[in-house]
Amino acid sequence: MLPLTLNNLKKREKRMKESSRWKDIKAIEEYILSIPKFTTKNNREDTKDFYEYLRRPGRDSLIFHVAGTNGKGSVCSYLNSVLLEEGISAGMFTSPHLVSMRERIQYQGELIGEEAFVECFHQLMEQLNGFQERKPQYHPTFFELLFFMAMLYFEEKNPKVIILETGLGGRLDATNIVEGEKVCVITKIGMDHMEYLGNTVEAIAREKAGIIQPGNKVIYSANRREIAEVIEKKAGKAGALCKFVTKPENPVLSFVDKTIDFSFSSRYYGYIPIRIRTVAEYQIENAALALTALEESGLKISESGMKRGMARSVWPARMEEILPGVYLDGAHNEDGIEAFLTTVLKDECKKERWILFSVVADKEFLKMKEMLLSSGLFHHVYATCLKNIRGVKKQQLEMIFSGEKVKIIESTKECLQEILSQKKEGDLVYITGSLYLAGEVKEMLEGLENPV
């Protein structure tokens, strides 16, 4: 940091006056959302240098570092819930958010407060002004800025554990600059973000496995042999303890009242019954990854803590029943849609199924659309446009669904209202294709007293 000379104090005072334009959280969020307009992705060295300039916040906490294509957020939620049950203090940084940016930063199961969010932002910007005297070209990206705010917040709270979810990839992710005692969790890997990560699952796996550092412990989903080989090789080079999780190890016991009971193969307690609050069978593997990571972490986790924590964990927009008979799922790639369809196939639908679909333009939306339509599971198919700039526009949707029995309504609100007004008792409604769509729907429902 800059020495406290008279000149530097005057500079600091000037910066603080300039920063007064960010008076409240709304202004700050608008500024953060504008960042992609004026900054490009930083090289890892500059990002790490800024982290060092901040004096490496979070360096004394045990890190659970979660990467993968699908299931990252769910694993983070399961980890956090069990830690809370065991009385172990924990901070959690995840992405994306559905409604509020504050969702990305949590401590002890609570979102960062508005006042703390504002304080962390100003603290970070003050530090950035000092750092820019050394590297004037540097400015954190959207993701980096929120990540650094989270780490400053956690430094103040000093939790025993910090849970970090990667944004995109892993090797070059901002979260990967944190070093020290770390448990890496790599969830199911599939084809997504190919323009950044590679065109094969092996290439994508190498990027995800880039979070592995010397001496780490690694827990991963062994869903494909070629992916397992990549992860094992990377762990071997790093001298990292490696353990895999597979679905057959943790068989389903029952599906009862919108919950799933399965048998978890515990290192310490043998097979123990675990209940999770979901109708999505794909969450069994995510739950098992989280429990295995906790057992390998060196933390003392009781059998009862596992059971209570898993039973109480809820992660939004993962086959979440937001209204009676209306399910919201954030599936946004081929593997996600496949898992979504597997769950839909097992539901007990008394009458007809409706689906509301939307997607961002950089996804494999043609394949996703084909999977949904060819499944034959849906009697009524609707498509809508996202407010997000990355969303597929109405003209594109009309081309995508040309010749298909699909109704396109540009407004998500109008589209959902029509579905809810026309569906009959016993019908089931599904909303999927994008987490941005999930966020729009959640925000919409929060503003309605009687949404049905």
Which CATH number covers residue 405?
Answer: 3.90.190.20
Both tokens assigned to 93: 């940084």
What is the predicted pLDDT for the residue at 313? 96
pLDDT at 168 over 90: no
Cα distances (angstroms) measured from residue 45 to each of 114, 126, 180: 31, 21, 18
307 & 385 share domain? no
Q: Which of 312, 331, 362 is the last residue of a domain?
A: 312
Average pLDDT along the chain: 90
- Give the domain range for residue 73: 6-312
In a domain, 1, yes or no: no
Question: Which of 278, 312, 346 delimits the end of a domain?
Answer: 312
Residues 390 and 305 in one domain: no
**Which two tokens mark 352?**
């007809």
pLDDT at 20 over 70: no
- Say if pTM beats, i.e. exceeds, 0.75: yes
pLDDT digits (tens, 9 = 90+) for 227-244: 999 999 999 999 999 999
Give yes or no for residue 428 having a pLDDT over 90: yes
Query: Rounded to a whole number, what is the distance in angstroms from the first to the last CA of the chain?
Result: 56
Say yes or no: 362 and 295 in one domain: no
Q: What is the pLDDT of residue 148?
A: 98
Q: Based on the fold, state whether residues 130 and 51 are members of the same structural domain.
A: yes
Same domain? 358 vs 218: no
d(CA 353, CA 244): 37
Specify the CATH number for the domain of residue 77.
Answer: 3.40.1190.10
Q: Are 95 and 143 in contact (CB under 8 A)?
A: yes
Q: Concatenated DSSP letters for 178-206?
A: --SSEEEEE-B--S--HHHH-SSHHHHHH
Of 163-172, 206-215, 241-250, the least confident: 241-250
- Kindly state the percentage of the chain with pLDDT values over 90: 78
The owner of tokens 């399965």 is 262
DSSP state string for 229-258: HHHHHHHHHHT-EEEEE-GGGS-EEEEETT
Q: What mean pLDDT do residues 41-50 have?
A: 93
Q: Are residues 273 and 377 in the same domain?
A: no
DSSP 8-state class, residue 70: B
Same domain for 157 and 204, yes or no, is yes
The answer on 334 and 236 residing in a single domain is no
Say yes or no: 294 and 396 in one domain: no
Q: Are 406 and 343 in contact (CB under 8 A)?
A: no
Q: Is the pLDDT of residue 185 over 60?
A: yes
Domain presence at residue 452: no
Closest CA to 92 of 241, 288, 315, 280: 315
pLDDT score of 3 more than 80: no
Q: Considering its fold, how many domains does the chain have in total?
A: 2
